Amino acid sequence: MARLIHILILLLVIASCATQKKAGVELPLELKNRLFSTQASFELLNSFNDPLFAPLKKNKCINNWEEYVSALNKKLRGTQKNSERVLIWYELGNCYNYVGEYKKAIYFYDLVLSVEKQNDPMLSVITANIGLIYELKGLNILAKSYYEKSISHNGNNFLAKYLIALDHLRQGEFSLANPILEELTQKLPKSRAVFSTLGVSFSLSGSSSELKSKVFKFFNEKEEERVLFEIALKLFDGKQTKDDLEDLKDLELKFPVLNDYRNFLLNKFGS
């Protein structure tokens, strides 16, 4: 799950210590590598074609960071309108988020928050992104408070709700994670990521009947996720065969949360 959190911090933006030159902004090699990593992670999540990740859209920043940030800075110097400044600050915050320059990202986000009070979709994205930054710093309580602020601005920010559920799941708070994930299955009935995560939560909480009735119906018997959960049921019931662990190793699982769960099962039952 930590790996998924890392991917999402790079990508939740719907949109350095960069060096300034007269010709514009140029990224140092380290930040270029971070941008390449972001682009690769973006492509990975979009390859899933999952509605949970539908908000993760390409933009000019991720495709041409240096040119776009240079243009934003030039536009910022030339504008006298607060409304334009807010939009530029927002885009700059997103762009610096893409390259892992979180201090600069928060600086620009804070500028937006100090002025903008009405644009709830924008405020929802910003507060969710700040929450993810704090999550990476290990400040989970603070991160969760920002996720909740994000949802207060936009109740349809499903990624923010999903991140709260992931936090509960990571803490073993299944009674809190399960209702959020079940709500998301109603909002996103075609999301493999949501049903997969709900399956992990049901499995870890020992809710085998709910796993079968609410998650198995989403996957056919041959799909990797269904096989994973069926093996997990056998392992927890002590009914595994000698081939189950080998089958577990051979599964080609899409989502990091599933790979993390597979590794947990192998560590717990493989000795």
What's the pLDDT score for residue 23?
43
Banded pLDDT at 191 (limits 50, 70, 90): very high
**Least confident residue range of 34-43, 78-87, 115-124, 231-240:** 34-43
Distance CA 256, CA 3 (A): 6
Tell which residue, 175, 215, 223, has the closest CA to residue 198: 215
Banded pLDDT at 41 (limits 50, 70, 90): confident
What's the pLDDT score for residue 57?
65
Banded pLDDT at 61 (limits 50, 70, 90): confident
Could you tell me which residues come within 8 angstroms of residue 136 by beta carbon, excluding any fewer than 6 positions away? 5, 6, 9, 102
What is the separation, in whole angstroms, between the first and last Cα of the chain?
A: 23
Cβ(154)–Cβ(48) under 8 Å? Answer: no
Q: What percent of the chain has pLDDT over 90?
A: 69
Q: What is the number of helices (H) and of strands (E) in the chain?
A: 15, 2
**Domain boundaries 1-171, CATH class:** mainly alpha
pLDDT in tens, 109-137: 999 999 999 999 999 999 999 999 999 89
pLDDT in tens, 64-86: 899 999 999 999 999 999 999 99
Choice between 61 and 178, residue whose per-residue pLDDT is larger: 178
Q: What share of the chain is helix, strand, coil (3-state, %, to 5)?
A: 75, 0, 25
**Least confident residue range of 5-14, 89-98, 125-134:** 5-14
Q: What is the mean pLDDT of residues 175-189?
A: 97
Return the domain boundaries, the chain: 1-171, 174-271
Q: Is 198 exposed, middle or buried (0-12, 13-18, 19+ CB in 10 A)?
A: buried
What's the pLDDT score for residue 84?
96
CA 110 to chain CA centroid, Å, is 21
Distance CA 38, CA 7 (A): 8
In one-letter notation, the amino acid at residue 7 is I
- Mean of pLDDT over the chain: 88
Banded pLDDT at 271 (limits 50, 70, 90): low
